[in-house]
A and B are shown apart, each in its own frame.
Chain A
Amino acid sequence: MKGKKTSESYCLGIESTADDFGVGISTFNGKILANIISAYIPPEGGIHPREAARHHAKVGNKVLEEAFQKAGIKPRDLSIISFSQGPGLGPCLRTGATVARALASYLDIPLVGVNHCVAHIEIGKLKTGAEDPVTLYVSGGNTIVSAFDSGRYRVFGETLDVALGNCLDVFAREAGLHQRVGEPFGAVVEKLAANGKKLIHLPYTVKGMDMSFSGLLTAVINLLKKGEYKLEDLCYSLQETAFSMVTEVTERALAHTEKKEVLLTGGVAANKRLQLMIKAIAEEHDADFSVMPREFAVDNGAMIAWTGILAYKHGVVTPIEKSFVKLRWRLDEVEVPWVE
Chain B
Amino acid sequence: MGGMKQPLLVKKGAEASLYLADWHGRKVIMKKRLPKKYRLSELDEQIKTYRTTHEPQLIHKAKKTGVPTPAIFLVDVKNATIIMEFVEGKQVKKLLSEVSKSERQRLCFRIGELIGRLHKNGIIHGDLTTSNMILNSEGKIFFVDFGLGEKSKELEARGVDLHLMKRALQSTHFRFAKECFDTVIEGYSKVLGSETAKNVLDKIKQIEKRGRYIAERKGD
Complex: how many Å from CA A327 to CA B164?
24
B207 and chain A: residue at smallest CB distance: A160
Q: Given A158-B211, A328-B213, are A255 and B14 also a contact pair (CB < 8 Å)?
A: yes
A252 and chain B: residue at smallest CB distance: B14
Cross-chain contact A207 with B211 (CB below 8 angstroms): no
Complex: how many Å from CA A210 to CA B165?
11
In the assembled complex, the CB of A160 is this many whole angstroms from the nearest CB of chain B, namely: 6
Complex: how many Å from CA A257 to CA B131?
12
B160 on the A face (CB < 8 A):
yes
CB within 8 Å of B: which A245-262 residues: 247-248, 251-252, 254-256
B212 on the A face (CB < 8 A):
yes
Cross-chain contact A163 with B167 (CB below 8 angstroms): no
Chain A 154-165 per-residue mask, 1 if CB under 8 angstroms from chain B, else 0: 111011110100
In the assembled complex, the CB of B124 is this many whole angstroms from the nearest CB of chain A, namely: 9
A209 on the B face (CB < 8 A):
yes
B127 on the A face (CB < 8 A):
yes
B22 on the A face (CB < 8 A):
no
B34 and chain A: residue at smallest CB distance: A284
In the complex, which of the residues B42, B129, B214 contacts A199, with contact meaning CB atoms closer than 8 Å? Answer: B42
A206 on the B face (CB < 8 A):
yes
Q: How large is the interface on A (under 10, 10 to 19, 20 to 34, 35 or more residues)?
A: 35 or more
Complex: how many Å from CA A255 to CA B12?
7
Q: Which residues of A sit under 8 angstroms from B127, Cβ to Cβ?
A: 207-208
In the assembled complex, the CB of A279 is this many whole angstroms from the nearest CB of chain B, namely: 8
Q: Which residues of B sit under 8 angstroms from A156, Cβ to Cβ?
A: 171
A241 on the B face (CB < 8 A):
yes
B1 on the A face (CB < 8 A):
no
In the assembled complex, the CB of A257 is this many whole angstroms from the nearest CB of chain B, namely: 10
Cross-chain contact B207 with A251 (CB below 8 angstroms): no
A142 on the B face (CB < 8 A):
yes
Cross-chain contact B213 with A208 (CB below 8 angstroms): no
Complex: how many Å from CA A247 to CA B40?
12
Complex: how many Å from CA A206 to CA B51?
12
A281 on the B face (CB < 8 A):
yes
Q: Which residues of B sit under 8 angstroms from A276, Cβ to Cβ?
A: 38
A87 and chain B: residue at smallest CB distance: B213
Chain B 182-214 per-residue mask, 1 if CB under 8 angstroms from chain A, else 0: 000000000000000000000000010011111
Q: Which residues of A sit under 8 angstroms from B217, Cβ to Cβ?
A: 328
Complex: how many Å from CA A42 to CA B211?
25
Q: List 30 A-B contacts (CB under 8 A).
A: A87-B212, A90-B220, A143-B212, A154-B171, A155-B171, A160-B207, A160-B210, A160-B211, A161-B211, A163-B212, A199-B40, A204-B43, A207-B148, A208-B127, A208-B128, A208-B148, A209-B164, A209-B171, A210-B164, A244-B39, A244-B43, A248-B36, A254-B14, A277-B38, A278-B38, A280-B36, A280-B37, A281-B14, A330-B214, A332-B170
List 9 extra interface pairs beyond A276-B38, A328-B220, CB under 8 A: A90-B220, A161-B211, A241-B43, A244-B36, A244-B40, A247-B39, A252-B14, A330-B214, A332-B170
